[in-house]
Amino acid sequence: MLRLSQMIPLLTTPEIHNLQAQLSSLLQSRVGNEIFINIPHELLLKITECLYLEDLLRVRLVCRSWNRAFTNSDLCLRMTKIHFPFAWEEYCKSFKSKSITKSGVDSKDWLRDSLINRIRREHGISSTRYRIKYDARYSNLQYCNNRIAIQTGGVFEVLNLLNQFRTVYAIPNRIEMKTWLLSDKWLMGILVSPTKLFAWELKDSGTGECHSIRLPTNTFRISAHLDLVGIVTSSFDVLIWTVGGGLRTLHTIKTSKDYIEEIIEAADIFFHHTNQDKYFLVYHTRVKPSAGAKFATRITVKTFVAWELVRSQHIVRYSSNLQLKHHSSLISNDGKIGIEIRGISGKITNEYFELLTYDMISMEFEVLTVSLDPSINHNLQISHYFIWQDQILYPILDNKNNLTDSLQVITISKSSIDVWNGLSKNFEDPISNHLRSSILSSETRANSGHTKMETQNRLYEKRVWADDNFVILFSGAELIVWGFRQGILTT
């Protein structure tokens, strides 16, 4: 727990004088845990804001008086606002409409369960783990919101990981869709000549409704949330389609007249989860670098509310190497966009890994960095890694056993490195599917020595997907699935 001296800079002068008076009174009349439980409420809130989730859970387990202090309604709401901002916004909407229920996010049980689930997910303590045989290229397989979809033989097969229901969606004329997307509510894909976008409603029983719409030109990127689909065309027109409704132009991305010096590398539309009229356009533009840098990329975020541009923000990143990877994606369920700009230096060197994010709620950029061992940094350059929350997950092959697949997990905020082992001796036995995921502790926290990881020379073609509920490793002709929610069925 942080010392009181570390809390002082966070307070105003009147707050400090008030707290000094209250603490002095407490010390004269109270002892032990009674002092703690009567700490001024403002100070208790400041303490909790500076704790990691697992530390917050630990202090609640110290004794009954501490548990009471850290489970009062005001504190629970504050923690919900900090760690689960979209749930907090839903709570505020319910409060305004006077429709709060006992099972709302202000529930202490809800916060406790959410904290535990997030901690388990961060540390790889899964409730179930199993393998699924899949004979497919990773480019024809996607994961989203507890579902896996694979395109094969002119159809899509969708598996719900929560209940193991499988559904098949037939593609018109059995033509392979080069561009397709699995979203939270719809499975969609594009056929060309003419360019047409199809959307199938995701259901566990039956194939649901199918909608389609003609597009004016080829597509560059598509994204979706609920019934809203964001389309960036090859001419960089940004379109919004409400499934079952009409198509509307939101914006057109423009570069300078000298197209050689400004090239759009990536462009995506993101939707605010609790405000259906709020959209974010994020695009990467390669620009002419300033003196002292060889390459430069400008990241632009344009915010639209009710179809009107209300804000435009930019940040420029410089590099000595050509940036070959330009990618933006949601990396949390709370509106955080991860912005990846990575190059391949061809050298094994000590470097910082930089994670640039944009928060839809605060509407601000944030930069997180972690120092990596040369071998790990080299592995990230040549592997398909995935970022969720502030964790980097990438597949490795255990040098001791060629048949053992593992994930290396880097937690940026804690500068720690774990290896999640994918297999156990009894892994082929279906009875063992509910074993916890083993974690080989090789952490490099600030108060411990650095643990050097060997360079992985035998990286196979693998891919990782992850969210709060599942981590999925695609390796060859199979998937390894870690589940972090209670009550998940296995194959």
Q: What is the pLDDT of residues 366-397, one digit of tens each?
A: 998 888 877 787 778 777 889 999 899 988 76
pLDDT at position 422: 47
Res. 451 pLDDT band, cuts 50 70 90: very low
pLDDT at position 61: 74
Rounded Cα–Cα distance for residues 237 and 218 (Å): 11
pLDDT at position 11: 73
What number is the average pLDDT over the span 193-207? 88
**The Cα angle at residue 431 between residues 426 and 437, in degrees rounded to 5:** 60
pLDDT at position 102: 43
Neighbour count for residue 331 (Cβ, 10 Å) = 22
Rounded Cα–Cα distance for residues 292 and 305 (Å): 39
Contacts of 348 (CB under 8 A, 6+ apart): 374, 375, 377, 378, 455
pLDDT at position 52: 76
Task: Pick from 37-51, 124-138, 423-437 the range whose average pLDDT is largest.
Answer: 124-138
The pTM score is: 0.79
Neighbour count for residue 268 (Cβ, 10 Å) = 22
Lowest mean pLDDT among 128-137, 149-158, 422-431, 432-441: 432-441
The domain locations on the chain are 4-121, 124-140+373-491
Residue type, 102: K
309 vs 394: which has the higher pLDDT: 309
Rounded Cα–Cα distance for residues 414 and 419 (Å): 15
pLDDT at position 444: 34
311 CB-contact burial (10 Å; exposed 0-12 / middle 13-18 / buried 19+): exposed
CA contacts within 13 A on the Cβ side of 134: 28
Res. 462 pLDDT band, cuts 50 70 90: confident
Encode pLDDT of 265-307 as tens digits.
Answer: 999 999 998 888 999 999 999 988 876 678 889 999 999 999 9
Res. 400 pLDDT band, cuts 50 70 90: low
CB 436 within 8 A of CB 126: yes
**b/e 226-239 (16+ beta carbons within 10 angstroms → b):** ebbbbbbbeeebbb
Which residues face 394 on adjacent strands? 408
CB 310 within 8 A of CB 301: no
Encode pLDDT of 176-199 as tens digits.
Answer: 999 999 999 999 999 998 899 999
User: Does 405 have pLDDT greater than 80?
Assistant: no
pLDDT at position 424: 40
Domain covering 4-121: architecture: Up-down Bundle (1.20)
19 vs 298: which has the higher pLDDT: 298
pLDDT at position 117: 81
User: Does 170 have pLDDT greater than 50?
Assistant: yes
Res. 143 pLDDT band, cuts 50 70 90: very high
Lowest mean pLDDT among 43-52, 310-319, 414-423, 457-466: 457-466
